Amino acid sequence: MDKMIKIILIVIVSLIFLSKNISAKEAGTVVEKSTLIVEELLYDKGSDKIDVSKYPRVMQEAYKVFASKCSKCHTLARPINSPYAIPEEWERYIKMMMRKPGSGIDPKSAKTIYEFLKYDSQVRKKGLYERKLKERKK
């Protein structure tokens, strides 16, 4: 997605919130929140499928768990197009999603989804994965 479009969208969403009478202190949070909303909108607009035909059989099975559990409250496109790649990020986000009321994600499925996302990131987001690992080691 074009960076400029993203910035314009963030400004628009921020302005919508800022038009409601809020304090200057809240304004910073508004921009942060708007950025998150726009980013999520953009993730949602991306592809909602992963071609797992070349993945190992066990990962193809794990994909089914991921696809059914992680598309309950938002599109599957959201996790698929999110910029998370390294294991700690997936651990953090899966835990966060699990704790949401009515998530229906049991620890066993969470582990399967975690293994899938870890594998998938190394294949599909190879560049990002390696860059993030390098940054972490600093």
Residues in contact with ligand HEC by CB under 6 A are 36, 40, 69-70, 72-74, 78-79, 82, 84, 93-94, 96-97, 100, 102-103, 105, 113
Which is closer to ligand HEC, CB of 14 or CB of 69? 69
For residue 11, count CB atoms less than 10 angstroms from its CB and return exposed for 0-12, middle for 13-18, buried for 19 or more.
middle
Q: How far is the CB of 130 from ligand HEC (least distance, A)?
A: 20
Q: How far is the CB of 39 from ligand HEC (least distance, A)?
A: 6
Which is closer to ligand HEC, CB of 69 or CB of 132? 69
Nearest-angstrom CA–CA distance, 133 and 136: 5
Which is closer to ligand HEC, CB of 24 or CB of 111? 111
Contacts of 36 (CB under 8 A, 6+ apart): none
Q: Closest Cα to residue 39, out of 69, 67, 77?
A: 77
